Structure 1
Amino acid sequence: MSDAPLLAPRPSALDRVMHRATLLLAAVSAVSLVLMLALVFVSVIFRYLLATPILGVNEIVQLASVAVVMLALPYCTAQNGHVGVDVLDEAIGAAGRYIGDIQSRILSGVVLAVLVQRAALKALDAREFGDATNMLNLPLWPFYAFIAAGMALCVLILLAQLVVLLLQKVRP
């Protein structure tokens, strides 16, 4: 028997694509956050020191917030970064946690899948009818598309996590 360390299995092509996609969206989210913070900083300087507010900043911040949250959501899901409460873990045991993990991924995936469909339809409607913001007349459909894309990737991640859970046995 060899003393060589056991190597972790190589990630599949799907794992690599999902990781790259979530990382790319998280990077776009981070850039959006930095730009939003810079805009707010400049806006505050202009408003209070120069007495000339920048019009439309609120609209831009609201839309950038959509991009920040929805594009970072898949990365957070893939990294298991969501808030979790383990108050009952000892009481329900390993089997209960296993069942709870399966149920939470199924429920989350179903709810997000419905929201993906609704957001995608809303994006199509907003594009068709030319929905835009009030002050700056910015088109809204790309932001509905961000919502749909972020949640769709989350659904795929939850599905992949569910498959991994179902293939492994309950561990104490």
Structure 2
Amino acid sequence: MAAPTPDEAGPPEAGWRKWFEVPLVLCGAAIIFVLMGLSVTDALLRSFFNAPIFGANDYAQILLSFAVAISFPLCVLSGRLIAIDTLARRLPVPIQKTLDWTTTILGIVMLAYVAWRSFSNALEASEFGETTLLLQLPFAPSYYAVAAGCALSALGLILERLTK
């Protein structure tokens, strides 16, 4: 069997992707496994011993916000952003490239805005002491995580566009 041609093999992986992606995948997997273990343990303890984990929903709420924050940049890296390009692919190549740049810039602007607003909300949550209901866990780290996830996503979009 012949080696694939460069067109068949796809574009070469940029070196920065590995350093960007691996820690996110490992952290995301750890969070999901902790969340899964918490949910299963809570359900079993509730069902068999009528003794649920106190504050399990509070822990789950915080863990889920971190999992979502990690998923933003991973979606960018894997190219799983929603794009409907049925009509765009029928246009001339220069127009396609212009549309690609335009949508990338809009995506960067929107992600940067969400990162900024999340960071602002984190500062306000810290200032006002916003917490979960039962365990009084602070909300600020969740907002910071979402801000970081959106900022990393915007950075990922920039790097993806520049290395194409």
For normalisation by structure 2, the TM-score amounts to 0.81
Whichever residue aligns with residue 160 of structure 1, its letter is: L
Sequence identity (%):
26
Please give the residue correspondences for 1:54-133 in structure 2 after superposition, counting only pairs within 5 Å: 54-133=53-132
Partners of 2:89 and 2:96 within 8 A in 1: no
TM-aligned CA deviation for residue 94 of structure 1: 3.3
Cα offsets for 1:113-143 (capped at 9, x unmatched): 1111111111112222222111111111111
TM-aligned CA deviation for residue 36 of structure 1: 0.3
Aligned residues: 156
Whichever residue aligns with residue 32 of structure 2, its letter is: L
Cα offsets for 1:1-39 (capped at 9, x unmatched): xxxxx9x9895xxx53x6423321231111101110111
Q: Pick closer, same or farther for the CA change 1:133–1:9 going to 2, 3 Å.
A: closer
Q: What RMSD in Å do the two structures reach over aligned CA positions?
A: 2.5
Structure-2 separation of matches of 1:87 and 1:21: 30
Structure-1 separation of matches of 2:75 and 2:99: 19
3-state SS of paired residue (2:76): helix
Q: 2:3 corresponds to which residue? A: none
Structure 1 stretches of 4+ moved >6 Å: none
For normalisation by structure 1, the TM-score amounts to 0.78
Structure-1 separation of matches of 2:12 and 2:67: 33
Which sits farther off after the overlay, 111-120 or 23-32?
Answer: 23-32
Structure 2, unpaired ranges of 5+: 1-5
